[in-house]
Structure formats: C-alpha cells, structure tokens
Amino acid sequence: MPPTPKDHLLRNLLRQVEPLTRYEAGDLPVRDRQDRTTNGTLVHMDRVAIEVVRSRHAGELPRGVVRHDREAEMEQAAAKECSVHKAEARERLRTWTQAHGQAILVPEVEDVFGEAQVHGHQHRCGTCQGHGQVSCGPCGGHGSVTCTRCHGTGRLNCHGCHGIGMRWEMVRYHVPATPGHVGGTTIKNEYKTCSVCNGRRYDRCSCNNGHVTCTTCHGNGKVPCNPCAATGMQHERMEVRCKVERGGRATAEDPRPEVQEQVGSWRLKDLVFLTDLSVQEVDLDVLTLRRRFTFTLETPQLVLGTPGGDLTIIGYGAEARITDLKGVVGRLLEGDVAGLEEAIASEGRWPWQRCVAVEEHLDHLLASEAHQQIAAAGFRTDDAQVKELVESGLVAQDHANRVGTAVRQAVRKIASPPLLKWVLPVALIPALALAIGRVQQVSWIWTVPVLLGSIGVAWLCWWLVERLRTRALVKAHPAIEAKRFRQIVKGQRPFKRWRWATLGLAVVCWALAFKYVPKPLTAAQRYAAETDAYLGRPNTSIRVPDRFTWVPFAEASSEVQDALAGISANTKVNVLDQARQAVQLGCAVHVATCDLDGDGVPGYAL
C-alpha cells in the first residue's frame, strides 16, 4: 500500500527531530494522525507595464542610438514608439492568452515586447561651454595661489634680528700695548645693525613675489569639467522599456486558521509545486491578464503529546511539506529542562555539597544533540549552530536561553565541591614564599622576583587543578562524547569565579604574611638587644647601624687586637682571651668595627 500524506508528514518530522533528540520512530509521542484536504481559490494577475525611461549622460551619443537635433523631436519620437509598443503588446498578450491562458504558465517580457530603439539628443555642455575645461577653483584660474609662508608679501622677517634690524653682536677689538699695559684682544657685546639683513629687517621669500604654483591645476588655471567628463558634450537618452508585474491572492476553505494564513501567503509560483491547479476564469483587460484558479491541497496533520501540551504539526501537499515546526524539538525536550531546573533549585545550596540529582538530570538533558549544541555554545550569543536551530523553527529562542542557563548552573554546581579543597592551599603559596624569604633573610632586592615567581607557581597549580577537574568531569559522564563534553565545560566557564576567589584570597594571605611575619634581626639589632639585656634598661645612647662589616677574628688587624687587649685590661672580662679560647675550641669568632655612640671613637663587636 503506497504511503499516504500523513505517513509522509511523520517521515518528514522524524527526519528533522530524530538527529537532534533521543526520540526514534517508535518513541515519538503521537496522539493523532489525520489525512485532510483543503479546497482553495487563487486569483492571479499579470500586468504589462510599458514606459519611457529618460537618462542623462556625459559625452557624445554612442553608436546605435537614433540621433535627434532637438529635444522635442526626441520626446515625440519616444512617445510615438511607446504607443506603438503598447498596441503591439496588447495584441501579443491576446495571442499568448489564446494559446496559453488555460495552462499553468505566465507571460514573460519576451512574449509581449519586441526590440525597442533608443532615441537621443546631444548638446554642448552648459558648464564649460563645450571647452571640456573650467577655471580652477582654488586659484580662480590664475594658476597660482598666495604663499602661505609670507602671506603674499614676498618677504620674511630676518632670522637674525627677527625683523628688528638691530641685534646684539660680539665685537672683537685689538688693544695696543702701552706703557704699563700689555696689549692684546678684547671682546665686547654691542647693539648694532644686523649683519644678516644689513638693517633691512627682512629676507626674500623663496616664492614668486608672494605667489606659488597651484597644486590643483599645476599652474594651468584650468581643470577637467566633471559634468561632461572633459568632452565638452552631454546627451540625453529616451528608451522604451517593458516589465511584467505579477500579483494575486490565494484563499483556503478550511476551518483551521493556520492553514488559511499559510495558504494566503502563497502565490502561483508556490502552489504550482504543491498541488494541481485548474483554470476556471480568464479575463483580459487591455494589458492586464486576470485568471482564477481552483485547487485541492493535501493538508495532513499530526498531534504530538508534549510536556507543554498538545502540539499540532501540519503538512502541505502530497509530500507533506512542513512550513512551521513550532519549536517541536524544544517542546519534546521541555521535561528535561524542567527537571534540571527543579534539581538545581532543590539541591546543592552550598558550594561544598555534592549534587547527585543535578548530575543525573544533566546527563539526561545532554543526551539530546540539540541540547549539546546549545550547551557547547556557552556565553557565545552568535553561535552558528544555535542560530541555525532557532531560525529553522526546531527550537524556540526562549528554550535555548533556558537550556544555556540551566547547563551553566549545573556545571558550576557539580564542579565546585572538589575545587574548594584546593582554593586555600593554592592561595597560600605567595604568602608562604614571603614567609620563607623573611626567615631565610632574603634580600629585599629579591622580594619582587620571589613574589612574581610564587604567583606564577600558584597560577600553574590552579591550571593543573582545572585540567584535572575537567578530566574528572569527562570521566564522570561517559554517555557524552569526551571532546563534546570538554567543549561544554569550556563554554560554561565553571572555574572562572573560583579562579578570582583564589586570587583574592591569595592577596589577603600575602598581606597578612607581610604584616605579621617578623623580619629577621640584623647583627646590629641583635647586638643592641643583647646590650639592653646586659644593662637591664634600653641604652638610648647607642646608635645601631643597619649592618656591620664582620671579619674573622684570626684575620683581624693588629690595631683591632691591641684595642681589644686594652679593653680587656680595663674591664673585669678578658674579651681577648675568651675570643682566643673560642677559636682554639673550633668556634667561628668574628669581629666588627663600628662607631656606636657617634663620638668618633671606634667600638668593637664580637
């Protein structure tokens, strides 16, 4: 048994829906299928329009144009030829109607219009009076313009005296020798006549008496005339042209408003491919051919049960052509989106909670190719695949927006819990680097490189965390192709907010470490602290330098050793003997020379 239009309708719908959803032929929720027909009428009109077109051109008349000496003669000849062509078109249209009026054909221009002559009239250009050239605008036809340097005066202020005529100059004088004085040369500054311009106060300009050659006309004073293209002539053409204007309207005798609207938007060129037309009436009025066609159009319909209610799809013609898909893919997959939205709203209110239901609903939603394409687009609003889905009518724009939002929230929820345990360790890397640097007494010169290096290490660690988490997400969803799921995760940017949170926490930790981790004491600061402890009170008279210059005790100069011997003789503690004994025992003893109290007397530190 041959397939009926309703079978073609189901086949055409499955061809559109099956690649984009998880539905197959047996899974599609079909509520009802009907074969229906619609009777209709089409009124089609062909109107032949013949008119004279007038145009203006530069230059002389080209070959093949009928030349007229006067403009009135050209107009009369064109009007006469237009009348002849109208009468000829009327007769040719009548002949065509008798031969093809009952056929599903339309008259073309070649059927009603023959070859027409072009009439023309040429005249001298009114702008240049037939010379082909006009006066140059910038120079007014003189070929030169005023010099911009001297402003037409032909001279410039002297560069030596700036137009004053006098200037200060150094003058060398010879002083003769006199008794008691040695002769020689002396130099004086005198205000005298400028030696550059000899008092004239100006120099001659390089122009020609205040004028320079015009760059537009190059000194010719004339430029080509634009209206006539430098030919000195202009012409007009009058040509008889023909066109066939088509129009009409179709009406459908069907109770379904959708069918009435769709059939009403079609013309003869559309209906001829959908059904057979029958000519019922032919009316020829001068140059207008009016014909009335009747037709019977197959309009099968299919009712689908979707979560949002019944959806009716109508086909047109014996092959059941579908003109409006009504977002059928989105309607069929509405339950998947609603389930994921409900799971997101009910589960995982805190970032550290694992959302099992969200993962299950996300897998269910991404089982459809259409949802995978929308999810892979992510934040890109101009994605070609999503645009194609929306423009084809398979998915509504609102449904695409809801899918994108739901997938974005779901991916963030399932990706967040494992990331939380890495936020603090990664954020502590710069702070730990600063603390270790201070404990190890790293110079302040290396602080900035250490900071930048620690930030780079933290960024690398977070990059590895993101890659490992993405790989874990891909493995957790084996039903989806790995490459496609990576595109989905990349498009949704689930790690972006945690990346910035880690950066902010790292800045806070580094600031706390900078403030509370103490700097290591220098040798001078330790010596001052020991002195305070020995005296039992702060010794405000000791001026502690930032750094001592330490040398091994064995390499100390004899002057230093003599000074230490003198100190040992005047105090109860023999510092020199203690230092020598410490060296013999294998201790590293160093001595530094400094002025602690600022009185110029050197002090010593061991």
Question: Predicted confidence band at 413 (pLDDT cuts at 50, 70, 90)?
Answer: confident
Same domain, 485 and 343: yes
Can you give the pTM of this predicted structure?
0.59
**Residue 249 bridge partners (DSSP):** 43
* Domain finish residue from 516, 537, 556: 516
The reply to whether 424 and 351 lie within a common domain is yes
State the distance between the two ends of the chain, measured CA to CA, in whole angstroms: 115
The 8-class DSSP code of residue 554 comes to G
372-399 per-position pLDDT tens digit: 888 777 767 677 888 888 888 888 888 8
From the list 40, 225, 200, 212, the residue with the least C-alpha distance to 128 is 225
Establish if 528 belongs to a structural domain.
yes
Contacts of 2 (CB under 8 A, 6+ apart): none
Tell me how many domains the chain contains.
Answer: 3
Instruction: Indicate whether 338 pLDDT > 80.
Output: yes
Whether residue 116 contacts residue 240, with contact meaning beta carbons closer than 8 Å, is answered with yes
Is the same domain home to 432 and 577?
no
Q: Note the pLDDT of residue 594.
A: 63
Nearest of 13, 142, 116, 122 to residue 69 by alpha carbon: 122
The secondary structure of residue 355, as a DSSP letter, is -
pLDDT above 80 for 554: no
pLDDT digits (tens, 9 = 90+) for 26-72: 677 888 889 999 999 999 999 999 999 999 999 999 988 999 999 99
Note whether 539 and 497 are same-domain residues: no
Q: How far apart are CA 350 and CA 298, in angstroms?
A: 57
Backbone angles phi, psi at 340, to 5 degrees: -65, -40
Domain that holds residue 369: 333-516
Asked whether residue 167 is assigned to any structural domain, the reply reads yes
pLDDT tens-place string over residues 453-469: 777 777 667 667 667 66
Report the candidate in 292, 294, 328, 297 with the shortest Cα–Cα distance to residue 313.
328
* pLDDT given for residue 582 in this prediction: 65
pLDDT for res 199: 81
Each residue's pLDDT tens digit, 120-170: 999 999 888 888 899 998 888 888 999 988 888 888 888 888 888 888 777
Q: What is the pLDDT of residues 247-257, one digit of tens each?
A: 989 999 999 99
In a domain, 72, yes or no: no
Please say if the pLDDT value at position 294 is more than 90.
yes
Q: What is the pLDDT of residue 257?
A: 92
Side chain identity at residue 500, one-letter code: W
On whether residue 22 sits in a domain, the answer given is: no
Q: Which of 516, 539, 558 is the last residue of a domain?
A: 516
The β-bridge partners of 187 are: 172
Residue 544 has a pLDDT of 46
361 shares its domain with 345: yes
Q: Do the domain assignments include residue 28? A: no
Kindly state whether residues 443 and 554 are assigned to the same domain.
Answer: no
Residue 493 backbone class (left: φ over 0; alpha: ψ -120 to 50; beta: rest): left
Residue 529 lies in a domain: yes
pLDDT over 60 (residue 596): no
**CA nearest neighbour of 301 among 18, 509, 13:** 13
**In this predicted structure, what is the pLDDT of residue 542?**
46
Same domain, 487 and 348: yes
Look at residue 57 in the predicted model and tell me its pLDDT.
Answer: 92
**Inter-CA distances, 227 with 134, 194, 473, 573, Å:** 11, 57, 72, 116
Alpha carbons 202 and 149: distance in angstroms, whole number: 13
Q: Report the amino acid identity of residue 538.
A: P
C-alpha gyration radius of the chain: 50
Determine how β-strand 233-253 pairs with β-strand 37-58: antiparallel
Which residue, 516, 536, 569, sits at the end of a domain?
516
Q: Which helix (H) or strand (E) holds 294?
A: strand 288-298
Residue 483: φ, ψ to 5°: -65, -40
Contacts of 210 (CB under 8 A, 6+ apart): 146, 147, 150, 151, 152, 153, 154
Per DSSP, 446 falls in state G
**Are 351 and 497 in the same domain?**
yes
Position 271 in a domain: no
Of 362, 473, 364, the residue nearest 408 (C-alpha): 362
- In single-letter form, the type of residue at position 479 comes to A
**pLDDT tens sequence across 463-507:** 676 676 666 666 666 656 666 666 666 666 666 666 777 777 777
C-alpha to C-alpha distances, 355 to 177, 322, 359, 402, nearest whole angstrom: 112, 41, 6, 20
State the average pLDDT over residues 65-91.
92
**Do the beta carbons of residue 392 and residue 325 sit within 8 Å?**
yes
Alpha helices in 296-366 (DSSP H): 328-332, 334-346, 356-365
Q: Are residues 422 and 490 in the same domain?
A: yes
Residue 366 lies in a domain: yes
Does residue 508 surpass a pLDDT of 90? no
Strand 66-67 with 118-124, pairing: parallel
Identify whether the C-beta of residue 354 lies closer than 8 Å to the C-beta of residue 418: no
Q: What are phi and psi of 559, to 5 degrees?
A: -65, -40
In this structure, are 480 and 392 located in the same domain? yes
Domain identity same for 512 and 551: no
Question: How many Cβ atoms from other residues are within 10 Å of residue 564's Cβ?
Answer: 20
Task: Please list the residues that pair with 288 across neighbouring strands.
Answer: 47, 285
Per-residue pLDDT reduced to its tens digit, 175-185: 777 766 666 77
With beta carbons less than 8 A apart as the criterion, state whether 602 and 562 touch: no
Mean of per-residue pLDDT scores for the chain: 79
Same-domain status, 502 and 555 = no
Give the model confidence (pLDDT) of 441-452 as tens digits.
Answer: 655 566 667 667
Render pLDDT for 223-238 as a digit per residue (tens, 0 to 9).
999 989 898 999 999 9
Distances, alpha carbon 359 to alpha carbons 295, 356, 415, in Å:
55, 5, 10
